[in-house]
Amino acid sequence: MNTRIRNKRLRLPILGAAALLVAAVAPELAPAEPHPVTPPVISGIAGLPGPVAAPAKPAARMGILKATPDTGPPGTPFVLTGSGLPANTDLDITWSTGTKQYKLDVVPDSVDFYGRIFTPMAVVLAKGRTDGSGNLKMNLKFPQDYGALHDIYAVSDGTQLAKGGVLVERTYKVWPLKGPVGATINIKLNGLGWLGYMDTVGVIWDNRYVGFLSSVTTRGQATATIRAAGPPGKHVLELVPASATTPFLNIKQSAVGYLGFKRYTFTVTKDAGPPPTKVVWPLDLKPTSSERTTFRTATVEGVTAKASTESGTVGSKVVLTATGLSPGGATIQWNTAVGTRTGAGYAVAYTPLMSVTVPASGKIETELTVPDDVGGWHTIEVLQDGKTKASVAYRIDQSLYQGGINGKRFKQGDLIKIHLKGVGFTELDNILAVTVDNAYIGYVCGFFSAGDTVLEMVATGQPGTHIVDLTPTIYKQQKGGNDIWYGGTPFLTYRTDYPLLALGYRLPAYHFAYTIVK
Amino acid sequence: MRALKLLVVAAAAATALAIAVPAPGANAPFPMNPFPAAEVGYTFNLQTLFGHGSRVRPAVYCADSSVFRRGQQVVFRLYIVDAKTGKVLTGKDIRRVVLRIAGQPDQTMPFRPQGGNPDATSPWLWSKAWLVPGDYPLGTFKFDIAAQIKQTKNTAKWVVYNPVIPGTDWQITP
């Protein structure tokens, strides 16, 4: 393997020491700056609730608008009234809101996470007109939007003449509320806010932390599933506002106590034995960014190259076709990342996959085996005379190794092994968070082990069925935000609101179960 | 809360109208660098506190806050400094200070000792308490403070403190 340190931070001083002597930072691999990433379009997720309003300034003497009612979930009808306004005047009724995006830095050997960026703005919710006495009365609805507090202004000629405000309350839907051990429980939230304490909700099961839901890019809507755990009987499920992904347990005493929380009772009806292992993938969304780790677009003019598939799992086959090459020898090379975040550092690396002979036609068509390597975006390159002639982006998706779990029945004290392949190397796909019986216990990482990821745990607990869930999550957040998210805990909304969805990644969650026997 | 941090900061006020402060980014660090700033004649140094007249009990009375619930009492108190001379102005220098809250009648702020009990240690401040009505609009809370500063025995001028700093507004909550 040929390793080149391509990162300006020189994070791999030991591993790359020898190769560094011949490595120059290639211009096409220069790290980008952290920047907001446009989220993918998801069916059913609303956009801004109106056209962006022109900037407006407060009037020297501002009046007030009354909203009746002024509290309710999205869609709530309300009457907006005002008085003392200029007579017979057209008004824009504006709604204070904003857009929220993830901030990422895509570099050759990582995607670094810089948190969430909120851009406040006002949109025109409706247009109105005062009567001859300067009164205003309009029938409106709370739009489908982020929840929490929103300001409403009556604006004329760039001046905010009067101000109102409403509280868009969050709604909760959880179903079913009874089922056997391992039953899927759906959670659907709406009206989550846009600030740090408002766009994240922690899930608690029998006083155990399960993970968190977010609605950063889904404008207040969040959907996720968890599974029923524990012996038959009643269990408590709580949905609690979370700040840094962890539940804020006494939210009622905070300055945002009005956010509230929700508590359900779930009845585990029976223990029907361990349900089958299940891998749940995110929605199939169209990426919004073409940025790729390890990717370089060095294809020479007149040369074309494509892979038969965009992605595959470790050990699967892909056919690489290239045309326009020079007759003679060529090398197929695999670009990846190696190293560790535990101290020594990491960098881009290059591995020859095979040598081929290009015929007089200049075309090659060769089948490759996807390497047993870290997951995520890589590059397959065709080199001739030591120069890159063509490059193709290719993604390794995660997969179960030999069924994923080493059994279904264990005695207390037995060793349980869960084995995955293709776990990634960026800050957003190098680890998975682990819960056992809905209790968060930690994470597993696949970077230093080239994507090979083994969770070993000792069988404990009472006889009966137990569940283990592995969920995508962020490794850590870089500096650069007031709304810090702690890394490493289960990101339950990974299917719709995960930062890497915009970059074309597909990270699954894994659901295992086993029975402890006497 | 970011806004809270503003409360005890000298509320730099323009001699006329609102402060021209660039809108901070969503993740602008605090304290924001106020320089370069417009040249001002006077600074308003304002606190907003939980008042004892609150009908919805706060956790701590007289504590600074930028978030008030309906039914809580907001105590506004401030002193004003001549930015050119550094003099802390008194009732001899200022004819009148008016608190102007959106949708509410103007309220004159008396100049009196803190706590209402004059003694050797009580600072004198302009202050006014306001009970947030039960139907007052939720969300951002708009107000300004106008001071009529004596220039001569017979003339005076108005200067206005308008705390318009995006992202750091006071809030009214349910």
- In chain A, positions 181-200, which contact chain B (CB-CB < 8 Å)? none
Token pair in block for residue A43: 């069916």
Q: Hey, are the CB atoms on B138 and A481 less than 8 Å from each other?
A: no
Q: What is the mean pLDDT of chain A?
A: 92
Taking 3-state DSSP, the helix, strand and coil percentages for chain A, each rounded to the nearest 5, stand at: 5, 50, 45
* A162 interfaces chain B, CB cutoff of 8 Å: yes
Token pair in block for residue A29: 């691999």
Q: What letter represents residue A170's amino acid?
A: R
Q: Hey, are the CB atoms on A482 and B27 less than 8 Å from each other?
A: yes
Q: Which residues of B touch A257 (CB under 8 A)?
A: 173
Burial zone of A188 (CB within 10 Å; 0-12 exposed, 13-18 middle, 19+ buried): middle
Q: Which residues of A touch B167 (CB under 8 A)?
A: 120
- Give ipTM to 2 decimals: 0.84
What whole-number distance in Å separates Cα of residue A80 and Cα of residue A70?
Answer: 9
| Nearest-CA distance B120 → chain A (Å) | 36
Per-residue pLDDT reduced to its tens digit, B49-88:
999 999 999 999 999 999 999 999 999 999 999 999 999 9
Looking at chain A, which residue has its C-alpha nearest residue B161?
Answer: A60
What whole-number distance in Å separates Cα of residue A298 and Cα of residue A3?
Answer: 18
Per-residue pLDDT reduced to its tens digit, A151-167:
999 999 999 999 999 99
Share of chain A above pLDDT 90, in %: 85
Per-residue pLDDT reduced to its tens digit, A170-212:
999 999 999 999 999 999 999 999 887 899 999 999 999 999 9
Q: Hey, are the CB atoms on B137 and A65 less than 8 Å from each other?
A: yes
Please name the helix (run of DSSP H) or strand (run of DSSP E) that holds residue A20, with its range, or none: helix A17-20
Token pair in block for residue A402: 């030999």
Q: Which residues of B touch A150 (CB under 8 A)?
A: 139
Mean pLDDT to the nearest integer, A312-338? 97
Give pLDDT, residue A481.
59
Q: What is the CATH number of domain A2-31+287-397?
A: 2.60.40.1930
What whole-number distance in Å separates Cα of residue A159 and Cα of residue A153?
Answer: 9
What whole-number distance in Å separates Cα of residue B108 and Cα of residue B125?
Answer: 13
Looking at chain A, which residue has its C-alpha nearest residue B68?
Answer: A255
Cβ contacts of residue B35 below 8 Å, gap of 6+?
none
Q: What letter represents residue B114's amino acid?
A: Q
Class of domain A57-168: mainly beta
CB B83 within 8 A of CB B40: yes
Looking at chain A, which residue has its C-alpha nearest residue B99?
Answer: A61
- What does R_g of chain B's alpha carbons equal in angstroms? 16
Task: Tell me which of A451-460, A490-499, B110-119 is least confident.
Answer: B110-119
What does pTM read for this prediction?
0.89
A507 vs B36, which has greater pLDDT?
A507
Q: Hey, are the CB atoms on A63 and B102 less than 8 Å from each other?
A: yes
End-to-end CA distance of chain B: 17
Mean pLDDT to the nearest integer, B137-153? 92
Token pair in block for residue A282: 């995110």
CA angle B123, B124, B130 (to 5 degrees): 115
Q: Hey, are the CB atoms on B100 and A115 less than 8 Å from each other?
A: no
* Secondary structure in 3-state letters for chain B: CCCHHHHCCCEEECCCCCCCCCCCCCCCCCCCCCCCCCCCCEEEEEEEEECCCCCCCCCCCCCECCEEECCCEEEEEEEEEECCCCCECCCCCEEEEEEEECCCCCEECCEEEHHHCCCCCCCEEEEEEEECCCCCCCEEECEEEEEEEECCCCCEEEEEECCCCCCCCEEEEC
Task: Tell me which of A25-39, A91-105, A234-248 is least confident.
Answer: A25-39
A vs B, Cβ pairs < 8 A, gives 76
Q: Using CB atoms, pick whichever of B26, B100, B139 lies closest to residue A165.
A: B139
List Cα–Cα distances, B42 to A506, B48, B158, in angstroms. 58, 19, 11
* A22 interfaces chain B, CB cutoff of 8 Å: no
**A193: helix, coil or strand?**
coil
Q: Hey, are the CB atoms on B26 and A253 less than 8 Å from each other?
A: no
Give pLDDT, residue B166.
55
Handedness of CA A359, A364, A367, A368 (dihedral sign): positive
Q: Does A8 have pLDDT greater than 50?
A: no
| Nearest-CA distance B144 → chain A (Å) | 9
Per-residue pLDDT reduced to its tens digit, A88-139:
999 999 999 999 999 999 998 999 999 999 899 999 999 999 999 999 999 9
What whole-number distance in Å separates Cα of residue B169 and Cα of residue B174?
Answer: 16
Q: Hey, are the CB atoms on A150 and B167 less than 8 Å from each other?
A: no
Residues of B with CB under 8 A from a CB of A: 1-2, 17-18, 26-27, 59, 65, 67, 100, 102-103, 135-140, 142, 162, 164, 166-167, 171-174
- In chain A, positions 239-278, which contact chain B (CB-CB < 8 Å)? 253, 255-258
Strands A317-323 and A364-369, bridge-based pairing: antiparallel
Please name the helix (run of DSSP H) or strand (run of DSSP E) that holds residue A90, with its range, or none: strand A90-107
* A115 interfaces chain B, CB cutoff of 8 Å: yes
- Which fold is adopted by the domain B4-173? Immunoglobulin-like (2.60.40)
CB A144 within 8 A of CB A46: yes
Compute φ and ψ for A505, nearest 5 degrees. -80, 150
Q: Using CB atoms, pick whichever of A119, A163, A253 lies closest to residue B137.
A: A163
Q: Which residues of A touch B17 (CB under 8 A)?
A: 60
CA angle A78, A84, A89 (to 5 degrees): 80
Q: Does B12 have pLDDT greater than 60?
A: no
List the domain boundaries for chain B.
4-173
Q: Which residues of A touch B99 (CB under 8 A)?
A: none
Residues of chain A with CATH 2.60.40.1930: 2-31+287-397, 57-168
Q: What letter represents residue A388's amino acid?
A: T
What whole-number distance in Å separates Cα of residue B70 and Cα of residue B133?
Answer: 6
Q: Does B15 have pLDDT greater than 80?
A: no
Strands A431-436 and A464-472, bridge-based pairing: antiparallel
Looking at chain B, which residue has its C-alpha nearest residue A69?
Answer: B135
What whole-number distance in Å separates Cα of residue B174 and Cα of residue B167?
Answer: 20
A260 vs B37, which has greater pLDDT?
A260
Least Cα distance to B17 among B140, B163, B170, B168 occurs for: B163
| Nearest-CA distance A131 → chain B (Å) | 19
Q: Which residues of A touch B27 (CB under 8 A)?
A: 115, 117, 480-482
Q: Does B142 have pLDDT greater than 80?
A: yes
Alpha carbon dihedral A329, A330, A331, A332, in 10-degree steps, equals -140
